[in-house]
Amino acid sequence: MTVLVKICGITSPEQALMAQDAGADLLGLVIYPKSSRYVQVQQAVKIRQVIGPGAKCVVLLVNADKALVDLVIDQVKPDLLQFHGDESPEFCQQFNFPFIRAVRMREGLNIDAEVNAYGAEAGFLFDAWSEDQYGGTGHQFDWSRLPTSTDYPLILAGGLNPDNVADAVRLVKPDMVDVSGGVEASPGIKDPVKVAAFVQRAKQAAIINLGNK
């Protein structure tokens, strides 16, 4: 198997270039004012301009209104949207734009029902549940709750870092791993050493998985 690596919460063009140099496959820009990794649309445009063809740009939104989503699509021109809030399936689907749906792993969640309702072709990102935070908690959830086989891209998030990402890839076998706080020196500031280690260890674990098949 191979695994894609998404570095989320990029806040400057310099960070975007650094993450690409480290081998990241996707870069996430957070347009959500309550996040410590928030960037305004104008800053997101500047970051988008330095993302080369080897990486995809993902814009993360939380309970945004339609006007903001339309603005992001028009101005930032991301490859994918990521809806990380309480958006309904109808809201996410109305833009006819490829999106990732974040699934926060609350107790009693019916994963199959969530997947069937949203039909997110770009994948489902499974993240830790928090009562008052939409992602970026730094907390890990019980990976055994995830399905062992899927017909959609499975994206693993929640408390990942360079020390546990290899185990995550070996055990869960996700299509993609997503990290934000786990590779930071401080909120919104990525650590180049941690980013490089995260990418390298994720990719290496995927190669080992492939060799063990």
How far is C-alpha 101 from the chain's CA centre?
A: 10
CA distances from 162 to 144, 167, 203 (A): 20, 10, 11
How far apart are the two ends of the chain, measured CA to CA in Å? 9
| Helix (H) or strand (E) run with residue 69 in it | helix 66-75
Structure tokens at 65: 């209104």
Structure tokens at 206: 């995927």
CA distances from 12 to 40, 45, 62, 65 (A): 11, 10, 20, 24
Closest CA to 190 of 199, 181, 177, 202: 181
Q: Which residues are catalytic?
A: 8, 127
